[in-house]
Amino acid sequence: MTTTPIRTRVGFVEVTLIVFGVYALAIGLFMMFLPGPFFDTLGTFGVRNDHYIFDNATFEIPQGLLLLAAVRRVSWRVPALAFASLHWALHALSHIIDPHHGAGDLVGWLEAGGLVATTVILAAALRVTAVSERRL
C-alpha cells in the first residue's frame, strides 16, 4: 500500500533532479557556446576569461546529465545528489567569500543567498533519498 507522503517525497526528489539537471545542463551549454553573453549577464566577476568559462562548462554539463540520469536510475540518486549538494555548497561559499558582482555587491549577495537556498533544496532531496533507501 502506497501512502501519499511517500509519493510526495519521491515527487520532490524527481522534480529536484529534473530542475537542477536541466539548469546545470543549460548553464553549461550557455557557458560553452555563448561565453560573452554568459559573462555579461551571470558571470560578471573579475576579468572575462573564455578559457575558464569553458572549463566550468565542462563541469556543469556532465553534472546536469548525471542528475537527469538519476531520475531513471534510482541507485544513482544518492551519489548524484551528494555530488550536486557539495558542488552547490562550495559554489555558495565562493560567492560568500567574493560577492563583488559586476552589477554591484547587492546582486552578488543575492546570488550567494540563492546558492545557499538551492544547496538546502539539494541537501533535503539527498536526505529524503537516503532515508527512503534505508527503508528498502
Domain ranges of the chain: 4-135
Question: For residue 122, with 0-12 CB atoms within 10 Å meaning exposed, 13-18 middle and 19 or more buried, which class applies?
Answer: buried
Whole-structure pTM value = 0.86
Report the percentage of the chain scoring pLDDT > 90.
Answer: 75
AA letter at 102:
G
Report the percentage of the chain scoring pLDDT > 70.
Answer: 92
pLDDT of residue 10: 59
Task: Place 105 in a pLDDT band, splitting at 50, 70 and 90.
Answer: confident
Classify 132 as helix, strand or coil. helix
